[in-house]
Amino acid sequence: MAKTFPKSGLIIILFSVLFASSAVLLPVACQQFSRKLSRKEMGLKREKLSHLHFYFHDIVSGRNPTAVRVAAATTTNSSATGFGAVVMMDDPLTAGPDLSSKLVGRAQGIYASAAQEESGYLMVLNYVFVEGKYNGSTLSILGRNTVLSTVREMPVVGGSGLFRFARGYAQARTHYFDLKTGDAVVEYNVYVIHY
């Protein structure tokens, strides 16, 4: 005589058989969140320190500005520091202080007036290089720029291409500032450790 099972018991048995067989047939995905890698596995060689020197042209006037205000607070225009203004930029980076000198890259990102008591900007940008062995590589900057200080220092927080795993700092010095137009040329010395 055949043994009978209640319907619920039969369903449990069938589910168990199906689950067990599917677990055997399906490949097991890696459940590991992180793992240690060697530099060799990543193709990383010895770290080196590079010095980059260029001029940043922030052009806010004329028919083809390279930096434009995209947002402002209701009080920005009455603030002595322009507090709350947000500017999007695609500024040329050149080998010399003249805009006509050799283009080595572009500064692409935003700067925003983030201080009420002095001219202090939050800088969030990438230097996108278009020249020589760095063509296609980038450096990422995130820092504070007090534009009336003689020398400003901002951290290099990363990069891409030849600047993967980059870290360092960028020093900025105003080379030229036009009080009428607001256009500026800033000399940059960037010191970066990378592979």
Q: What is the CATH number of the domain that holds 156?
A: 2.40.480.10
Task: Of 12-16, 147-151, 155-159, give the lowest mean pLDDT range.
Answer: 12-16
Could you list the residue range(s) of the whole structural domain that residue 190 is in?
44-194
CA pseudo-torsion sign 91, 92, 93, 99: negative
pLDDT averaged over every residue in the chain: 90
Evaluate whether 130 touches 102 at the Cβ level (below 8 Å). Answer: no
pLDDT at 2: 55
Q: Is 12 a member of any domain?
A: no
* Mean pLDDT of the region 80-103: 98
Residues ≥6 apart with Cβ < 8 Å to 158: 139, 140, 165, 166, 167
Q: Is 30 a member of any domain?
A: no
Q: Is 83 a member of any domain?
A: yes
Top pLDDT among 3 and 39 is at 39
* Mean pLDDT of the region 39-66: 93
Task: Of 17-26, 35-44, 53-62, give the lowest mean pLDDT range.
Answer: 17-26
Q: Is 24 a member of any domain?
A: no
Q: Is 32 a member of any domain?
A: no
Q: Is 79 a member of any domain?
A: yes
* Domains contained in the chain, number: 1
Check pLDDT > 90 for residue 177: yes
Q: Is 136 a member of any domain?
A: yes
Amino acid at 47: E
CA–CA separation, 145 vs 87, rounded Å?
14
pLDDT at 40: 82
CA–CA separation, 7 vs 109, rounded Å?
66
Top pLDDT among 5 and 76 is at 76
Q: Is 17 a member of any domain?
A: no
Top pLDDT among 46 and 174 is at 174
